[in-house]
Chains A and B, each alone.
Chain A
Amino acid sequence: MAGRVWHSVRNALRAIREGELLLRLRADKYLVHILYLFILMWVTIFLGIQVDKTLIRVKENNEELEKLRIYRTEKEAELVKLHSASAAQKRLKELGSEATLPTEPTSIIKTK
């Protein structure tokens, strides 16, 4: 019994050394399946990496968008502060302008 086991192991080692293990096991019959399995594994790993890359890009883009949203909101608030009639009047005064708010309505030139 032990002798047979040892014989099998020695045989297998020799086959590995001579590069014939898969041929002796008749793995060529399952080559298509092995390739298919290999491709499946490769696709799984590749997709996992791509998903990670996409998620990283999504995260970076979201952070950038959020930053832009905050910038836009800050600038909007600053501009709106300057947009009131009081702010305009105050600024004109500070600049020494004689211009004031209109006292008469706007006139529109009506074209034919």
Chain B
Amino acid sequence: MRKDSEIKDKIVGRDRIHVVMFFLSLAFMVLGVFILVWIVKIQTSYTVPEEVIDLFRPKTDSVIYKAVRGRILATDGRPLALSVPLYDLHMDCTVLKKKYKDENKDSLEQVWQDKARKLAVCLSEEFRDKSAEGWADIILNGRDNDKKYLLIKKNINLSVLERVKQFPLFEEGRNAGGIIIDEHPERIYPYDSLARRVIGYMKYAEDGKEDNRGIGLEYSFESDLHGTDGCEYRRVTDNGLSVRDPDLPHHDVKNGKDLRTTLNIDFQDIADKALRAQIRDHNEIRAAICIIMEVKTGAIRAMVNLSRGDTPQTTLYERENLALMQVGEPGSVMKGVTLLSLVEDGYVKNLEETIPTNNGVLSGYQQDNHILTYQSQTGKRVISVIHGFAISSNYVFASLAERYYGKKPQEFYDHIYSYRLGEAFDFDIEGLRSPVVNRPGTSGWSGTTLGSNAYGYGIGETPLHIITFYNGIANKGRLMKPYLVESIEKDGEVERKFVPKALNESICSAATADTVTRALRAVVTEGTANRLKSAKLPVAGKTGTAQVVLTPAERKGSSSNYIDAGGRHKNQGTFVGFFPVDKPKYTILVTVYSYLSKDEFAGGRYPALAVRDIVNQIYALDADWRQEIQCTGTVPEMTD
């Protein structure tokens, strides 16, 4: 009986469970259909309110980290350009003002103003440009006039900023003290104007309205120097600190690479100073340049480009890279080109060979006054090639060129092109101009072009082309490609190394180079560059003085291309050579450019004097010329 009732209860209980399960299933099914309809409705017609989206959006901010621009280094690692952040300091003078006013807390307002006066004292002591009263007036007036962004100081460095942040009021931070700090990167050039045209600059266009602009190494190696900005998402921790969100992607910042140049900053300093010393007091000189090149490698050790610009009275500064961009008639330094060609082709076998002086007259060319002087001084009617070279006779070289290349001028121009004097070559800085050469058959060719070119007129060359050629003579015929960048480095490790390259493995034989070197030495010992005789290292080289073609406005009223109506002309005076003669280590070029003037600015004058100063100082500085003193005695050993 008991069993029957238990069984009955079980059956009844089971039926109830079935009923409950049925209704539960039904409820879930209805709920499922409802959710499905709800989802379809949301997907098709419902717009989620912004506040709701905000609730679901992760609390993160993206932060961009600016890459630090790479440094430009001298060959010994001293920095020529580096980047540091500078800070602009502003103040929100209105902080807490409204709160104090609303809550009638005049005493707290008074405390704030007292702190502002203490801040004014500190600012006065730190910046020393205004009195404490002056600063207090500015800040309190700013508070009265609701200034929210009052400029305190621009471009302060981190050391100053750290001190300023400890000042009264500012130590309370942005919300209570009103301090506002704006950081911006700044490029620093520790040597100021030294090599500024070579180092250059980079100007970034704002908002992409125009292209980025720049010059020099900064521009040419922008991709290496710039680096890559980093980006990360940050979230706020339970402590209220902002940290990187490890669950979201990030890009590490890659700072720019360093550029190690070939520049020797001591040589640059010496050359800069020597040029300034020669031309500082001569307002007729518009500009002066100097290039020092290492003979074996073609590495540029110094490149100075001092210029006054268009106004004679302005101070000398690195305004334009004339070494690369000034294409001008080089004058007599081209005689080195002619002599090398003549000797290499075997037309001049001996520098003592003579030609008749003919009173310096060659048909079609201007009479050569050097020859008249020579004739009157020596009474001779013949002149040797080496002497003609030493006194820089146009007649001698026009005659030789006409005699040997007159019927086959292309042979001479083939030499010019093989010396790479006919075209621009690849260089580390953009802007190297192409020379202007009037070859036979071109529109600029005439009956006197060959002879004129032989002594440096009717042809345009940049100073870099000229020094590259003379470096080839010093290097026994191996024409090295000038270069400015030794390596690209990352964190002190070399990533890319630039090795010296030859533009032409052999422009002449070693014997020819030696012969021409002897002629170049004669220029210094007995010729136009005799001011260099007293240099502490023996120098060989060539002077060149050329008149510059005037602009149509300058030559108004004059029939000459070179002289204005007032008899004034523009000069370009050059000395190019190498030292020491027996084992050349450096090639040097100095050129000065004048404004319109009646004075001569010959290559043997200011350029030669500047070269003498530079050679003497390099002699004292360079480790190669250190003297060894043999130790003859002994020092007793120290004992305890």
Contacts and interface: CB of A to CB of B under 8 A. Distances in A.
A85 B270 CA distance: 8
B244 A108 contact: no
A interface bracket (residues with beta carbon within 8 Å of B): 20 to 34
Contact of A71 (B159, B188, B243, B273): B159
B191 A59 contact: no
Interface string B597-639: 0000000000000000000110111110111111100000000
A97 interface: no
Nearest to B82: A73
B65 to A, nearest CB: 10
Contacts of B105: none
B310 interface: no
A17 interface: no
Interface stretch (A6-14, A23-31, A34-42, A98-106): A98-106
Interface in A63-95: 67, 69-71, 73-74, 76-77, 80-81, 83-86
B241 interface: yes
Q: Which of A58, A104, A107 has most B Cβ within 10 Å?
A: A104
Contact of A112 (B194, B244, B265, B631): B631
Given A1-B16, A71-B158, A84 B241 contact: no
Given A56-B237, A70-B85, A86-B273, A107 B626 contact: yes
Contacts, number: 95
B629 A86 contact: no
Contacts of A52: 237-239, 243
A76 B291 CA distance: 28
A105 B622 CA distance: 7
A80 B237 CA distance: 43
Contact of A56 (B84, B188, B239, B628): B239
Contacts of B616: 103
A5 to B, nearest CB: 10
Nearest to B616: A103
B78 A83 contact: yes
Contacts of B621: 102, 105
Interface in B188-246: 188, 190-192, 194, 237-239, 241-244, 246
A86 B269 contact: yes
B interface bracket (residues with beta carbon within 8 Å of A): 35 or more
Interface string B368-393: 00000000000000000000000000
Contacts of A84: 191, 194, 265-266, 269
Contacts of B242: 59
A102 B620 contact: yes
A108 B194 contact: no
B84 A107 contact: no
Contacts of B79: 76-77, 80
Contacts of B560: none
A81 B480 CA distance: 33
A73 B191 CA distance: 14
Interface string B69-94: 00000000011001111000000000
B229 to A, nearest CB: 15
B178 to A, nearest CB: 23
Given A107-B629, A110-B630, A81 B191 contact: yes
Contacts of B314: none
B627 A70 contact: no
29 contacts: A52-B237, A52-B238, A56-B239, A56-B241, A58-B243, A58-B244, A59-B242, A59-B243, A59-B244, A67-B158, A70-B158, A73-B83, A74-B157, A76-B79, A76-B82, A77-B84, A77-B190, A80-B79, A86-B269, A86-B273, A101-B620, A102-B621, A105-B622, A105-B626, A106-B627, A108-B626, A108-B627, A108-B628, A109-B631
Given A109-B629, A110-B630, A112-B631, 14 more contacts: A56-B243, A59-B241, A59-B243, A59-B244, A73-B82, A77-B84, A77-B188, A80-B190, A84-B265, A85-B269, A101-B620, A103-B616, A109-B631, A111-B631
Q: Which 5 A-B pairs have the closest CB atoms?
A: A55-B243, A80-B190, A105-B625, A110-B628, A52-B237
